[in-house]
Amino acid sequence: MKIASFVVAIGLLLPLAGCAGMEGAGHKYVMRGQILEVSGDATYLCVGTNDGAKVGQELGVYKYTKQPSHPKLQARKFKKEKTGVVQITEIMDEHMATAKIISGQAKQNYIVELAP
């Protein structure tokens, strides 16, 4: 019971740690590319100089939705859908940037992808 409670607590606290405070693997694998918040004209992104982000760069915005799965399949499938485009307006640090929505829709927890 204690182990299960610990695992649940870690699972709940990890996302609350935020992008800027997560170093190394946390940023690289857990939050990288995530839209942290959309507030007015500002969209806060978990991308920064360590990811190659630059002011003026346009990024595709995507959402992932669960797809129905066959009862015998173990893995759940997700569909990737492009919802819009944002443009970086400010680099805050190595892990964070702000952007404005150029087209479509961007919401918290959607993902942005840097163009190669």
pLDDT at res. 116: 59
At 59-93, the pLDDT tens digits run 999 999 888 776 776 666 888 999 999 999 999 99
Q: Which of these ranges, 12-16, 49-53, 61-65, 86-90, has the smallest mean pLDDT?
A: 12-16
Indicate yes or no: pTM above 0.75.
no
Choice between 115 and 80, residue whose per-residue pLDDT is larger: 80
CA-CA distance, 36 to 108, in Å (whole number)? Answer: 5
Above 90 in pLDDT, residue 31?
no
Cβ neighbours of residue 91 under 8 Å, at least 6 residues apart?
A: 48, 49, 53, 54, 55, 97
Task: Give the model's confidence band at 22: pLDDT under 50 very low, under 70 low, under 90 confident, else very high.
Answer: very low
Taking residues 23-40, report their average pLDDT.
68
Q: What is the pLDDT of residue 1?
A: 53
Closest to 23 measured CA to CA, from 114, 93, 95, 113: 95
- Residue 75: how many other CB atoms lie within 10 Å: 6
* Predicted local distance difference test score (pLDDT) of residue 46: 93
Using the predicted structure, report yes or no on whether residue 27 has a pLDDT greater than 50.
no
Instruction: Judge contact between 92 and 47, C-beta under 8 A.
Output: no
Which CATH architecture group holds 2-113? Beta Barrel (2.40)
User: Which amino acid makes up residue 44?
Assistant: Y
Spell out the domain ranges in the chain.
Answer: 2-113
